[in-house]
Chain A
Amino acid sequence: MFQIKCPYCGNREMTEYTYGGEANLSRPTRLESEDSLALTSYLFSRTNKRGIHLERWFHVFGCRKWFNVARNTITNEIVETYLPNEQPQVVEQTKE
C-alpha cells in the first residue's frame, strides 16, 4: 500500500483512488484520424514506462477530481502530483 498526495485533499491511501492510465494522450483530430496509425497509437500504444511514469488518477472516494501523478513504476514511489494543466517538474531522469 502506498499513499498518493491529492493536490486538493492531501495524502490519502491508494485505495481511495482509481487509476486512469497514461497521461497526456491526446485524441487525434478528425483529419488526423484518417491516418490509421495516429488512431492506433492513441487507442492502444502505450509508453508502459519502466521508471518515472506520468499517469492520471481519480480521487473516487474523496473530492472526485482528476489529477496527474509522476510515479516510479519500479518502486511505486510517488515523485510528484500535479494538476492536468501543469507541467511536472521531474520528467525523464531515471531509468533503472
Chain B
Amino acid sequence: MYRFSAASLLRNAFSGHKNWPQQFQSVEPKQKYQAVIVGGGGHGLSAAYHLAKEFGITNIAVIEKGWIGGGNTGRNTAMVRSNYLQQHSVNLYDASIKMWETMSNELNYNVMFSQRGLLHLAHSVSDMQEIGRRAHAINMFGADAELLTPQQVKKWLPNINLNCRFPILGALLQRRGAVARHDAMAWGYARGATELGVDLIQNCEVTGFEINNGEIKCVHTTKGRIKTDTVGIAVSGHSSHLAEMAGFRLPIETVPLQALVTEPLKPVLNCAVISASIHAYVSQSDKGELVIGGGTDPYVAYANRGAFEEIETMMTAVKELFPNYSRLRIMRQWAGMVDLTPDRSPIISKTPIKNMYMDGGWGTGGFKTSPIGGLLMAEMMATDQVPVLAAPFALSRFESGKLIDEGAASSVAH
C-alpha cells in the first residue's frame, strides 16, 4: 500500500500531484466468501477492516448498492461526541471517540479529526436541569463534560446572540467533541480493508437472502448469488427493508434528516454548536462552509429529500442564534434516511437468523460511531459472541423492556 508521509507529499508536490495512485478498487464478486457485509458506508467498511485486521478473516465482500460512502456516510454533519445520558451509551460512544483519536495513525490516512469542542445550548430552566443531570452522568461514567454560564458561552462563541427569542441560560461543553472529514473516514477504511484483502463490490444491490433451517446460506445480489457463512448488515435507512427480505420485523421507523452548507467563509466558528430546543446544529468545515443541520421530517419516508418546512425551522433557529449569518447563501442541501428506534439507541445485535448480525438503528447519530459499530459487529461475525459493549443494545431489549432512552441526548427532536 502506498504510505502517506511528509516525504511522499513533498515528492508528489514536485511531480505536480500527477502520480498519486488509486487508493482502492472495486471488483466483481466471487461465488463464495467467508463473510459478506451488506452496506459500504462507515460501519460496513469499519467492520470489514476490523474483521480482517483483528480477527484474521480476510475472505470478505463488502456489498454496496451505490458507491463507497455514498449513503448516510456522505450525508451527515460529521460531528463526533459522547455526551449521552445512560452508562451503556456513554461507554459505547466514548469508546468510539477513543478510536477516532487514533484513526488517522491507524489507517495512515488523514481523517481530519479535530477535537474543537462541542457546545450543547440550554434555553430554559428544564434545559438547564437536563444538561446538568447529563453532565453529572457523563462525568460519573468517565467521559468529559462541563457546564458553562452564558458569559462563558459568549467567550466560546463571540458571535452568539445570548438574548435571542429563547435566551441562552447555559451550555454543556464536551471538549473532546469533534468534527471529522466523513469521506476520508470511509475512504481510509476502504483503503485499509482492500489492503488486507477485502473485496469491495460497488453498484451491487442485495435482492434477497437464502435461508435454510433458520441459518443464512446465500446472498442474492444484482451481480449474482454469493455463498457465505456469515452476514453482517450495516445499512442505515434500509434496515427494515433488508429485515423484511430475511423475514423478520424491526422496531425501526425511517425518516429523512436534512442538512445544508452555506458558501465558504473565513473562520467564524471554532467549535460545534447544538441547540436541541430551538433545533439546529452548526459547525464550520475546514473549507469554510457552515454545516447546518436540523430536525427530522415527522413521518416515515424514503424520499431522500426532506420537507421544506424543516429547512425553514432550522434556518430560523440558526439566524436567531447567530444573526450575522443571516445574509449567507446556501450552496447545497440534502437529506439522508435515518433509522429511528423507539429509545433512540442503536441495535448492535444477533438477529433471528443464525449467523446474521446487524449494526444499525443509529438514528441521527451513526457517523460518529462508525469505528466502534464496525468493530463490535466484526467481533460478533468472527466469534458469534456478543461483546460486552454491545450486549445492552441487543434486539431483545424491546422484549425485556430494558430500553436505553437517549431521546434527550440525541440532540435532534423526533
Does chain A have a CB within 8 A of B409? no
Q: Please give the distance in Å from A41's CB to the nearest CB on chain B.
A: 7
**B251 touching A18, Cβ below 8 Å:** no
By beta carbon, the residue of chain B nearest A71 is B299
Contact B309 A55 (CB under 8 A): no
Q: Contacts A1-B309, A19-B298, A40-B398 given; indicate if A46 touches B303 (C-beta within 8 A).
A: no
The smallest beta-carbon distance between A75 and chain B, in angstroms, is 7
Cross-chain contact B342 with A44 (CB below 8 angstroms): yes
Q: Chain A: how many interface residues by the 8 Å CB criterion? A: 26
The DSSP consensus for interface residues of chain B is loop
Contacts known (A45-B250, A46-B240, A48-B254); A76 close to B303, Cβ less than 8 A? yes
| Interface 0/1 of B288-316, CB less than 8 Å to A | 00000000001111110001110000000
Q: Check A40/B399 contact, CB under 8 A, given A46-B253, A76-B303.
A: yes
Cα distance A55–B254 when bound, in Å? 14
Residues of A within 8 A of B241 (CB): 48, 50
Please tell me if the beta carbons of B300 and A53 are within 8 angstroms of each other in the complex.
yes
CA distance A69 to B307 in the complex (A): 18
Say yes or no: A44 contacts B398, CB within 8 Å: yes
B249 A41 Cβ-Cβ under 8 A: yes
Is B168 in contact with chain A by the CB < 8 A criterion? no
Q: B249 and A1: CB pair below 8 A?
A: no
In the bound complex, residues from chain B placing their C-beta under 8 Å from that of A41 are: 249
- A19 to chain B: closest CB distance in Å? 4
Q: CA of A1 to CA of B303 in the docked complex: distance in angstroms?
A: 12
CB-CB contacts of B254-283 with A at 8 A, as 1s and 0s? 100000000000000000000000000000
The answer on a CB contact under 8 Å between B399 and A48 is no
Chain A positions 38 through 76: 1 when the CB is less than 8 Å from some CB of chain B, otherwise 0: 001101111111100101000000000000000101111
Complex Cα distance, B299 from A19, in Å, reads: 6
Q: Is the CB of B298 within 8 A of A18?
A: yes
Q: Does A85 contact B (CB under 8 A)?
A: no
Q: Which residues of A contact B250 (CB under 8 A)?
A: 45-46, 48
Contact partners of A45 in chain B: CB under 8 A: 249-251, 398
Which A residues are CB-close (under 8 A) to B251?
Answer: 40, 44-46
Residue A33 is within 8 A (CB to CB) of chain B in the complex: no
Interface string of B226-265 (1 = CB under 8 A from A): 0000000000001011000000011111100000000000
Residue pair A73, B308 in contact (C-beta under 8 Å)? no
Query: A94 at interface (Cβ–Cβ under 8 A)?
Result: no
Q: Is A37 an interface residue (CB 8 A)?
A: yes
With an 8 A cutoff between CB atoms, is A9 at the interface? no
Q: Which residue of A lies closest to B341 (CB)?
A: A44
| Contact B298 A74, beta carbon cutoff 8 Å | no
| Set of chain A residues within 8 Å of B252, measured between Cβ atoms | 46, 48
Whole-angstrom distance between the Cβ of B39 and the nearest chain A Cβ: 16
List 14 interface pairs A-B (beta carbons < 8 Å), by A numbering: A1-B308, A14-B307, A15-B309, A19-B298, A40-B398, A41-B249, A44-B398, A45-B249, A46-B240, A46-B249, A46-B251, A50-B238, A50-B241, A73-B254
Please list the 3 inter-chain residue pairs (A to B) with the smallest Cβ-Cβ separation, ordered nearest first: A44-B251, A48-B240, A19-B299
Residues of A in contact with B (beta carbons under 8 Å apart): 1, 14-15, 18-19, 21-22, 36-37, 40-41, 43-50, 53, 55, 71, 73-76
Known: A1-B309, A40-B398, A48-B254. 12 other contacts (CB 8 A): A19-B299, A22-B300, A45-B249, A45-B250, A45-B251, A46-B250, A46-B251, A47-B240, A48-B250, A48-B253, A50-B241, A53-B300
